[in-house]
Amino acid sequence: MKLLVTGGAGFIGSAVVRLAASRGHRIVNLDALTYAACLGNVASVSDNPLYVFEHADIRDRAALDRIFAAHAPDAVMHLAAESHVDRSIDGPGDFVETNITGTYNLLEAARSHWEAQDRPESFRFHHVSTDEVFGSLPADPAVKFTETTPYDPRSPYSASKAASDHLVRAWQETYGLPVVLSNCSNNYGPYHFPEKLVPVVILNALAGKELPIYGRGENVRDWLYVEDHADALLTVLERGAVGRSYNIGGENERTNLDLVRMICAILDEIRPKPEGSYADQIAFVADRPGHDARYAIDPSRIRQELGWRPSVTVEEGLRRTVQWYLDNEDWWRPLQARDGVGARLGTGRGAAR
Ligand code: NAD
């Protein structure tokens, strides 16, 4: 398969690129290289003759047309996005432009390529989205997001992703473009940009800094190891039914506070401090405005229809992740100097852009 991956220099996209390359797929990695990107994420495949990098922006329709014409992909996996909820609170405009207008451009470029090729049934446009489009769940563990949960996005980020999901479905209904969608829970793992909770906690712990927890740390997320997610995405792309969406979860619900305590316990074991526990560095800070209380995925559809399940528990995945950060300071240290990293973002007091 010749796969056009957008956002392949980001966290999840690069895990897809690395896995797809290891399975012998041809890959075109299209990425604008925003603040969140790092070509080091795909350094292990950059010399692979099956791999090509295209530096392009999905807001640039002419660039997309050129790339489709040059590479004639069999499938598109669309991950390029502005992805950080806190940044969406301070500057929602970038999220509207990339996540909505960019997805529209990509759909149109894909449709024009697909129509020029006589509309092959085997073509796929796989849109990668988030469970945040479904809103916030009550504490009752029996209630989870299914593929038919009504959309109820609460943040500029999730609203922009919801809009892009609707566009993708509309392109299938209206033009017949063979699309497939997936909505996943919170990812963590190697190459996670150091502004997201898990790497912030690991790196602040090692630096002797506070471990900031929004509110009381009671918000619940369903933690999905990124390499499991990449495997699920290739499964959905290859075997998912056209027009269908699949929820992808880690089957590992934890409160933020529990998750941070788990990271501290792992560090206490493998990199103990001279005295005390890393958990002593936990600090409760002002909550995110509109912070969704709970996300949880009902994974029945992907499990029953595609036979996919996550391979690691959150304990095992976190252990691998902590070890990876201990072993890869050369990767994360320069990223900490990028714009906004380490600053408190998304308090609702940032200037509108
Ligand atoms: P990321 O921020 O790490 O990477 C995004 C990539 O997209 C970056 O490499 C960036 O350079 C690129 N990009 C941004 N704007 C672009 C543009 N205009 N044109 C071309 N490239 C552009 O994000 P991620 O965490 O890897 O998320 C990937 C996808 O998965 C996103 O669509 C996100 O909404 C979705 N998702 C992520 C999570 C998660 O927990 N990280 C959960 C659910 C869904």
Tell me what pLDDT residue 350 has.
Answer: 56
In a domain, 305, yes or no: yes
Residue 353 has pLDDT above 50, yes or no: no
pLDDT band at 343 (very low <50, low <70, confident <90, very high): confident
Q: In sequence order, what are the residues at sequence separation of 6 or more whose Cβ sits closer than 8 angstroms to the Cβ of residue 142?
A: none
Q: According to the model, what pLDDT value does residue 290 have?
A: 82
Check residue 241 and give its pLDDT: 98
What token pair was written down for 71?
């590479």
Reported as a single tens digit per residue, the pLDDT across 37-85 is 999 999 999 999 999 999 999 999 999 999 999 999 999 999 999 999 9
197: left (phi over 0), alpha (psi -120 to 50) or beta: alpha
User: What is 197-224 written as a DSSP string?
Assistant: HHHHHHHHHHHT--EEEETTS--EEE-E
Question: Once rounded to an integer, what is the mean pLDDT over residues 202-215?
Answer: 96
Task: Report in angstroms the alpha-carbon separations of 250 from 89, 221, 245, 322.
Answer: 26, 10, 17, 18
Spacing, Cα 81 to ligand 1 middle (Å): 4
Q: How many domains does the chain have?
A: 1
Within the chain, where are the H helices?
11-22, 61-71, 85-90, 92-95, 103-116, 156-175, 197-207, 226-239, 256-270, 300-306, 314-327, 329-335
**Of these residues, 82, 86, 90, 157, which one is catalytic?**
157
CB contact at 8 A, 302 and 232: yes
**Among this protein's residues, is 188 annotated catalytic?**
no
Contact 286, 347 (CB under 8 A): yes
Question: What atom in ligand 1 is closest to the CA of residue 9?
Answer: 9
Place of tokens 């990668």: 128
What pLDDT, on the 0 to 100 scale, is given for residue 192?
98
- Which of 34, 60, 164, 227, when mutated, tests ligand 1's pocket best, judged by the most ligand atoms within 8 Å of its CB? 34
Q: Please check the confidence at residue 170 and state whether its pLDDT lies above 50.
A: yes
Identify the active-site residue in 132, 195, 222, 228.
Answer: 132
The model's pTM: 0.97
- Residue 63, domain CATH: 3.40.50.720
Structural domain contains residue 85:
yes
Q: Quick check: is 132 catalytic?
A: yes
Its domain, for residue 90, covers 2-186+225-250+296-311
Q: Which atom of ligand 1 is nearest to the CA of 188?
A: 40
Given ligand 1 and candidates 4, 5, 11, which is best to mutate, with the most ligand atoms within 8 Å of its CB?
A: 11
> CB within 6 Å of ligand 1 — which residues?
6-7, 9-13, 31-34, 36-37, 57-59, 79-83, 98, 102, 128-130, 161, 184, 186-187, 193
Is 332 part of any domain? Answer: no
Q: Which of 338, 317, 194 is nearest to 259 (CA)?
A: 317
Share of the chain above pLDDT 70, in %: 99
Is 120 within 8 Å of 73 (Cβ atoms)?
no
| Cα 298 to Cα 146: distance, rounded to the nearest angstrom | 5
Atom of ligand 1 nearest to the CA of 187: 40
Q: How far is ligand 1, taken at its centre, from the CA of residue 220, in Å? A: 22
* The pLDDT value given to residue 287: 86
Please tell me what DSSP assigns to residue 288.
Answer: P
Q: In the structure, what pLDDT confidence band is assigned to residue 291 with cuts at 50, 70 and 90?
A: confident
Per-residue tokens: 242: 């056209």
The answer to whether residue 353 is domain-embedded is no
Residue nearest to atom 5 of ligand 1 (CA): 10
Residue 341 DSSP class: T
Task: With beta carbons less than 8 A apart as the criterion, state whether 229 and 12 touch.
Answer: yes
**163 within domain boundaries:** yes
DSSP string, 224-272: EEHHHHHHHHHHHHHHPPTT-EEEE--S-EEEHHHHHHHHHHHHHHHS-
Q: Are 2 and 73 in contact (CB under 8 A)?
A: yes
Residue 157 annotated in active site:
yes
Ligand 1 midpoint to CA 272 (Å): 34
Backbone phi and psi for residue 24, each to the nearest 5 degrees, phi listed first: 85, 10
**DSSP 8-state symbol, 96:** I
In the predicted model, what is the mean pLDDT of residues 137-151? Answer: 95
Percent residues over pLDDT 90 in the chain: 92
User: Is residue 331 in some structural domain?
Assistant: no
pLDDT above 50 for 310 = yes
Reported as a pLDDT band with limits 50, 70 and 90, residue 289 is: confident
Residue 55 located in a structural domain: yes
Mean pLDDT to the nearest integer, 146-173 = 97
**Interval between CA 301 and ligand 1 midpoint (Å):** 24
* Res 344 pLDDT > 90: no
Query: Considering the domain boundaries, does residue 40 fall inside one?
Result: yes
Mean pLDDT of 5-21: 98
- Quote the CA–CA distance of 286 and 343 in Å, as a whole number: 13
Identify the active-site residue in 31, 90, 131, 298: 131
Q: Give the per-residue pLDDT at 224.
A: 98
